[in-house]
Every structure is written in structure tokens, then in C-alpha cells.
Amino acid sequence: MKIHYGTALGAVALVAVHILMRMSQKFSDSLQYQNVIANYHFLPYALMLEVLLILLSVHGFNGLRVILLELKQGSTYEKMINYGSLAAMAILIAYGSRTILMAGMGIS
Amino acid sequence: MAVVSVPKPSEESNSKAKTPSQSNTITLRISRSNPSEGQEAIFSEFQIPVQKWTTVLEAILYVKQNFDHSVAVRYSCRQASCGSCGMKINGKPALACYTKISELNSNIVTVEPMNNFPIIRDLAVDFKQLISNHKKMKPFIIREDSEVTPESKEFIQTPQDLEKFLQFSYCIKCGLCNSACPTMATDTSFIGPQGLAQAYRYVADNRDKGKDERLKIVDDSHGIWRCHFAGSCSQVCPKGVDPAMAIQLLRGYLLGFRK
């Protein structure tokens, strides 16, 4: 559960930075294609997005895992939920990382 | 000079509505079931004469003595000390011996077995899981040395040390907190507020050296983190114990806020 609290606090901090970055210019301008791509080309920001992706995936799927464990019990079911959540986390992180990498390297 | 007008007998009876506490007879609805024989719950109704001081347990015993001796109910001390007669009274978990019918403000009193416990029969429920979870918490002082030595006769505690856990030692294991707990309704493996409050009672005791052992037990996938802090456990405790607070304080130890 410490992971859950830690990822929540980390995500709140990084989402705050993410929103503040939108405020450095007009909000509609910040969403222009060139500006969005420029964010991914800026390595520290791209790294922050990657960390944010990991924090949110772990937090979200761990939360879902806990809800499902509270709904039903049983050793096979619990194992299934635990491994299923880990797999879902890994898949989402891999897919999100792919997007960050592709945008960063200019691959469309 | 103040003038006090005395109402006439007819006016008096009209102005005062008959409150349930003044009523002489109430309807007692008892949930009857026998799961071992596949019998679904039905309600048996009895008309019971009551006094201002009649408790729900006394009303149930009146039924057993005068109408139907087969009503299954567990009770012993009749003074809220043994924790045997926990049941749902008008939908709320309470001790039958500690609940006066006049306090319920209703002429219909419905008694049902506690939630979140397997029913044995009628109002009697199975306490196996509660007792097993209680034992799992190692409800005793753990330390290598004995307090009975020729040199030292006892471990001295200051009133402040005692205050940290005293209220939690009042638990009578009646199971009302577990019955009121919404998490226990879905998570049958959850330790429950009773067990967690007892874990805190010993962790907070400065004579005890088994803190790490107990924290390991409660830091489980069906342990302390499953509490949603609804607080209903503390609402229903007949001894004034606050299990919800114990759980929050115990979390402090696990997160390193408390030593």
C-alpha cells in the first residue's frame, strides 16, 4: 500500500508540473501540433512524462487490483488478479513509452 | 401572580400523544432461520408486555419462557460484559442486554442475527473467524524477560503510557464492530476492526516487544489497508472503544509516522 501512496503523491506533483507547463503560454497555443512535438523533443520533459506514465499506470492498476480483491476472495482468483494487474501495467507502460519515444525521435 | 391551569383529564389524554415508552405492549419480530437445514429467514411476531426498563434480551427471554422456547439466542451476563448477545436491533448492531426497548422509540422491535457472520440458528452466529483473527494478533504481551523476578515485581507504566491503549483493552469481543463494517461485507478474509484494534492495543503498550511481529501480520493484502475508514465500527461499540482510530494509529506505525 506504500507503493499506492507513494505513486499518488508523485503523480500529483508531476501532474502539477505538467499543468503549469501549459500555462507558460496561451492554453490553445500549448496544444498546437508543433508545440506538443517540441515538448517530446525536450529530453527532461519527455523523461518527466515517462515517469508520470509509470506512476499513473502503477497507481491505477494497483487501485483496480485492490478493488477486485475486495470484491471476491480465493487463492486462484487473487493470483489471477495480481498477475493480470502486473501484465496490464507493463502493457500500458510499454505502449505509452512507445508513443513518447516515437514522438521524441520524430517517427510518425 | 402566576396562574397555573391544570388540564382536565380529557384534555390531558388528548394533548399527550402516546409515546412508545409509555406503551405496555410491543411487537417483537424475531428472525428465524436454520441454514444447516436450508431454512430461509422468516420473521416470527410476538406481543410482549414491556416496562420502561425492559431490555431487548428480556423481551426475547419472555418469548422463550412463554411462547416459543426454540428461539436460539446466545447470552450470558446480561450486563454488557460478556459480549454474547450481539444482534441487529431495528437494523443496527447492538447488545440485546444493553438496549432498552423504551430507547428504541418504536412499538415494533425487529431482531436479526448480526451481519458478516455465518448464522448458526435464529439469532446465534458463529464467532470462529472473529476469535481466530483475534488470536492471530497475538493478544498478549510479548517479551523475553518475565516481569516476576526477585528484583523487579512489575513493569511500571506512567498514566500517559496507559492512556495510549487503555480504551482498546475494554473490548469484549462482541463482534458488533465487525458486523457494522462495510469492508467485512465484501471481503471475507479481512481481519476486521476487532482484530486490528487489538493489534494496536498491544503495539501501543510500552511493555510489549512484539510490535514488528504484529505489524507484519496486519500489513497483509486483507489486512489494515482494506479499511475504508467508514467509522461504523466505532459508532456501534457498546464499550466506547474506537477501532477506527486504532486502525489509523496503527497505519501511522506502518508508514513510519509513529515509533
Q: Label residue B231 left, alpha or beta by phi (over 0 means left) and psi (-120 to 50 means alpha).
A: left
The cell for B140 is 498478549
CATH hierarchy code of domain A2-105: 1.20.1300
Contact in structure between B180 and B236 (CB atoms under 8 Å)? yes
- How close A105 comes to chain B (CA, Å)? 41
The cell for B56 is 431487548
Contact in structure between B137 and B217 (CB atoms under 8 Å)? yes
Facing A69 at nearest CB: one of B219, B221, B254: B221
Q: A24 vs A102, which has greater pLDDT?
A: A102
Chains A, B: CB contacts under 8 A, how many? 20
pLDDT tens digits, B242-252: 999 999 999 99
Q: What is the mean pLDDT of residues B203-214?
A: 93
Nearest to B47 by CA among B31, B23, B73: B23
CATH 3.10.20.30 domain extents, chain B: 21-125
For residue A53, CA distances in Å to A47, A56, A83, A86 come to: 10, 5, 20, 15
- State which fold the B128-254 domain adopts: Fumarate Reductase Iron-sulfur Protein; Chain B, domain 2 (1.10.1060)
Which DSSP helix (H) or strand (E) runs through B32?
Answer: strand B25-34
For residue B248, CA distances in Å to A62, B173, B195, B200, B253 come to: 21, 20, 14, 10, 9
Facing A73 at nearest CB: one of B188, B225, B255: B188
φ, ψ of residue B108 in degrees (nearest 5): -115, 120
Of B2-16, B32-46, B121-135, the range with the lowest mean pLDDT is B2-16
* Its pTM surpasses 0.90: no
ipTM (interface pTM)? 0.73
- State which fold the B21-125 domain adopts: Ubiquitin-like (UB roll) (3.10.20)
Nearest to B200 by CA among B158, B253, B156: B253
Q: Enumerate the residues of chain B whose CB falls inside 8 A of the CB of residue A69.
A: 187, 221-222
pLDDT at B63: 97
Cβ within 8 Å of residue B76, ≥6 positions away: B82, B84, B85
**Contact with chain A for residue B187, Cβ under 8 A:** yes
Cα–Cα distance between B79 and B213 in angstroms, integer? 35
Which DSSP helix (H) or strand (E) runs through B42?
Answer: strand B39-49
Q: Which residue of A has its CA nearest to B255?
A: A2
Statement: residue B3 has pLDDT above 80: no
Cα–Cα distance between B87 and B80 in angstroms, integer? 13
Domain map (residue ranges) of chain A: 2-105
Q: What value does the mean pLDDT of chain B take?
A: 90
pLDDT at B245: 97
Q: How confident is the model at residue B147 (pLDDT cuts 50, 70, 90)?
A: low
- How close B247 comes to chain A (CA, Å)? 14
Say whether A73 and B187 touch across the interface (CB within 8 A): yes
Say whether B255 and A78 touch across the interface (CB within 8 A): no
Q: Enumerate the residues of chain B whose CB falls inside 8 A of the CB of residue A70.
A: 183, 186-187, 226
pLDDT tens digits, A53-96: 999 999 999 999 999 999 989 999 999 999 999 999 999 999 99
pLDDT tens digits, B82-100: 999 999 999 999 999 999 9
CATH 1.10.1060.10 domain extents, chain B: 128-254
Torsion A20-A25-A28-A31 (CA) sign: negative
pLDDT at A30: 84
